[in-house]
Structure 1
Amino acid sequence: MIRSIVTLIIAAVAMTAHADNHMKKASADLINSSGEVIGMANLMQGPNGVLIHVRVTGLEPGKHGLHLHSHGDCLPDTGFESAKGHVGKVEGAHGLMNPKGPEPGDLPNIFVGEDGVGEMEAFTSMVSLDDSKHGLLDEDGSTFIIHQNADDHITQPIGGAGPRVACGTIEAN
């Protein structure tokens, strides 16, 4: 009887550990050019990709380009250029509608309402929260970048999205 209970406990722990591997989570505090926190991004690893939820406040109403960048560094005094280029950047392949793309760092725009609140949810199978080729939690980290303008999803190199207005370093939860 005790052996059966121990076996069940071991099996339950193993199943939980297996489930946790598919449910890795990460998040990012999004800051503006003054270094003030203006939002949050949450990421959850699924069996076939990453579910992303982003919410921001205080941005200009309208569409804003949103991308995943290759370095976990959000220095406002650099205009967030410290985040470097897109995750998995491929010259000439930027854009969700690009026949040569998309790049793994390409995401749909975030829409900000007249009240200054923006929110979006997206799923991507091109990145992960593990050690794969485009893992967001790799040695040099990754960031979310929000741009001043909409991304047209095809123009090179960033879809006409303009300057970087917000940044968030992605960290494991």
Structure 2
Amino acid sequence: MRHLRTTARLILGSALAVAALTAGTVSAQTAMPTATAAVKGPDGKDLGTVTLTQYPHGVVLRGQLSGLTPGPHAIHIHANGTCSPDFSAAGGHFNPGNGKHGLVESPIHSGDLPNIIADAGGKAGVEAITHLVTLGDGPDSVFKPGGTSFVVHAGPDDYTSQPAGNSGDRVGCGVITKG
């Protein structure tokens, strides 16, 4: 019986600690700078929204996309804040430090992000963190003059091929905007 009381106290204590941390996290999140990218397909159809949130140790990207072909897709931050007249207007990867593409190079493009995987229904979650961009000021800001965009590619990034990972056509694009 004593073991059950101790276990119950530990569970209750853990639950209270999580609740306290969550409450603190929620209030901290509301004060953090954010940005969004409303991603559209080549036909103008909405594919979803990706939100960027600045934290002290990086930018977190979160979102849900749909209307993709099943399988892996590369995602990147691109150098221009425009998606029209076609997705090539987004330019190459955001790369203020003139790095190379991929995970084996140093320094790498600031716009490099991990692949996402669309399920059989064409839906994919985006959950990534990058330490290479900021929502603040400076050369690594996604709010540079001319802006930046979030791009989804037809295939996966191989993380090595130059200059863009051999990830195929651009199948989604959204301009990154404050707020």
Q: Which residue of 2 aligns with 1:131?
A: 137
Q: Which residue of 1 aligns with 2:178?
A: 172
Contact map agreement 2:99 2:108 (CA 8 A) in 1 = no
- TM-score w.r.t. structure 1 length? 0.82
- TM-score w.r.t. structure 2 length? 0.79
Q: Which residue of 2 aligns with 1:53?
A: 62
Q: Which of 84-93 and 143-152 deviates more?
A: 84-93
Contact map agreement 1:31 1:166 (CA 8 A) in 2 = yes
Counterparts of 1:1-20 in structure 2 under 5 Å?
none
Q: Does 1:84 align with 2:124?
A: no
Aligned residues: 152
Contact map agreement 1:92 1:157 (CA 8 A) in 2 = no
Cα RMSD of the aligned pairs, angstroms, is 1.9
Unaligned runs of 5+ in 2: 1-27
Q: Does 1:154 align with 2:154?
A: no
Contact map agreement 1:22 1:46 (CA 8 A) in 2 = no
Say if 1:103 and 1:22 are closer, same or farther in 2 by CA, change over 3 A: farther
Distance across 1 between alignment mates of 2:97 and 2:165? 14
Unaligned runs of 5+ in 1: 1-18
Distance across 1 between alignment mates of 2:139 and 2:96? 12
Q: Does 1:99 align with 2:105?
A: yes
| Residue 138 of structure 1, CA deviation | 1.9
Identity percentage of aligned residues: 36
Distance across 2 between alignment mates of 1:84 and 1:56? 22
